[in-house]
A and B are shown apart, each in its own frame.
Chain A
Amino acid sequence: MTSMGMTTPLAGYLLVAALLFAIGLAGALVRRNAILVLIGIELMLNAANLNLIAFWRFGPHPEALTGMMFALFSIAVAAAEAAVGLGLVIAIHRQTNTTELDKIDRMKG
C-alpha cells in the first residue's frame, strides 16, 4: 500500500476506503447484534463516500462537483437509512425483546 500510495495519492485513499468497506462488511456479516450490523452498513456507506470525494478531488473535472454532490446526497440518504433502520431495530426489540439476529428467526411476531 505504501509504495503504491507514494506514487499516486488517489490509490491511498481508495485503498483506505476499500479497507474500511471490508471492515464494515465484516462487521455486518459477523456480528450478532442488529445495531452492529447497521453500524457496519454505515461504515460501508462512509467508505463509498470517501471514494466519491477522492475521485472528485483527483478526477479531471472537480468544478463540475459530481463526486461531491454524490457524496452529499449519499450522506443525506445514509441519515435517512439510519433513522429507519434503527426505528426497525426498536420495533423488533419491542416484538421479540432481543436485538440478536440469531434469535430473530420467526416470521410471526
Chain B
Amino acid sequence: MNVVFYLLAAITLAGGLAAVLLKHLVHCALATTVAFAGLALLFLQLDAQFAGFAQILVYIGAVAILIVFTILLTRGSELPKGGVFSRTWFVGLVIAAGVFAVLAWAVLESVRGIPQQTAVPAVTVHDIGNALVGRYVLPLEIVGLLLTAATIGAVIVAMHEKERRQ
C-alpha cells in the first residue's frame, strides 16, 4: 500500500470511467486501453510478472485492436446521432451502484479476519510453465481448443452474410 498503488488505481479507474462515459467510441476504446495498462501495472505491483505481461500482450495487443477494428468496420467512428446512453440508464446506474455497495461491504467486512501473506512469493516463469503443462494441462488443452473454436467461429460469424449473398 503506497503511492504507486494509489496512482495505478487512479489510472485504472479513470481509464474505466472514461471508457464508459466518453461520447466518441474510439476514445472509449483508447480509454479502455489505459484501464488495461493500469491493470497490467497493478499485476506487476502484485509481483505477477507473467500475468502482467500476458495482460498487456493479450489486451492491448489483441483485444484493444479488435475493438478499434470493429468500431471502424461498423462505422462507429462517427459520432452517434442520438444520446450515447440507453433509455434505461438510470436503472443500470442504480444496479451498478448497488453491486458496488454490496461488494465493498463484503470486502470490508470479510477481509479483516483473513491472515495475509506479505512475503513476495518466489514464483518464477519456470514454475508457471511447469504448472501449465503439469497440473493444469487439461485446462490448457481446453483453452487451446476454445481459442481455435473461437477463431474459426469469429471468422465464420463475420464472413457469413457475404458468403450467403453470393
Interface set of A (CB-CB < 8 Å, partner B): 4-6, 8-16, 18-33, 35-36, 38-40, 42-43, 46, 49-50, 53-54, 56-60, 62-63, 65, 68-69, 71-73, 75-84, 86-91, 93-95, 99-102
The 8 Å CB contact of B51, one of A13, A33, A75, A79, is A75
Q: Given A33-B25, A79-B147, check contact A87 B155 (CB 8 Å).
A: yes
- When the two chains form their complex, are residues B150 and A83 in contact, meaning their CB atoms are under 8 A apart? yes
- When the two chains form their complex, are residues B139 and A27 in contact, meaning their CB atoms are under 8 A apart? no
The distance from the CB of B146 to the nearest CB of chain A, in whole angstroms, is 5
- Interface size class on chain B is 35 or more
Interfacial chain A residues near B55, Cβ < 8 Å: 46, 49, 75
Interfacial chain B residues near A82, Cβ < 8 Å: 62-63, 66-67
The distance from the CB of B93 to the nearest CB of chain A, in whole angstroms, is 6
- When the two chains form their complex, are residues B80 and A100 in contact, meaning their CB atoms are under 8 A apart? yes
Judged by DSSP, the binding face of A is: helix
- Whose C-beta in chain B lies nearest to the C-beta of A18? B103
The distance from the CB of A51 to the nearest CB of chain B, in whole angstroms, is 10
Cα A80 to Cα B93 in complex, Å, equals: 28
Interface set of B (CB-CB < 8 Å, partner A): 1, 5, 9, 12-13, 16-17, 19-20, 25, 28-29, 32, 35-36, 39, 42-43, 46-48, 50-51, 54-55, 58-59, 62-63, 66-67, 69-71, 73-76, 80, 82-89, 91-93, 95-97, 99-100, 103-104, 107-108, 111-112, 114-118, 121-123, 127-128, 131-132, 136, 139, 143, 146-147, 149-151, 153-155, 157-158, 160-162
- When the two chains form their complex, are residues A53 and B112 in contact, meaning their CB atoms are under 8 A apart? no
- Whose C-beta in chain A lies nearest to the C-beta of B63? A82
Interfacial chain A residues near B162, Cβ < 8 Å: 94
- When the two chains form their complex, are residues A62 and B121 in contact, meaning their CB atoms are under 8 A apart? yes
- When the two chains form their complex, are residues B96 and A22 in contact, meaning their CB atoms are under 8 A apart? yes
The 8 Å CB contact of A15, one of B59, B107, B157, is B107
- When the two chains form their complex, are residues A65 and B86 in contact, meaning their CB atoms are under 8 A apart? no
- When the two chains form their complex, are residues A72 and B51 in contact, meaning their CB atoms are under 8 A apart? yes
The 8 Å CB contact of B16, one of A5, A11, A24, A80, is A24
- When the two chains form their complex, are residues A91 and B20 in contact, meaning their CB atoms are under 8 A apart? no
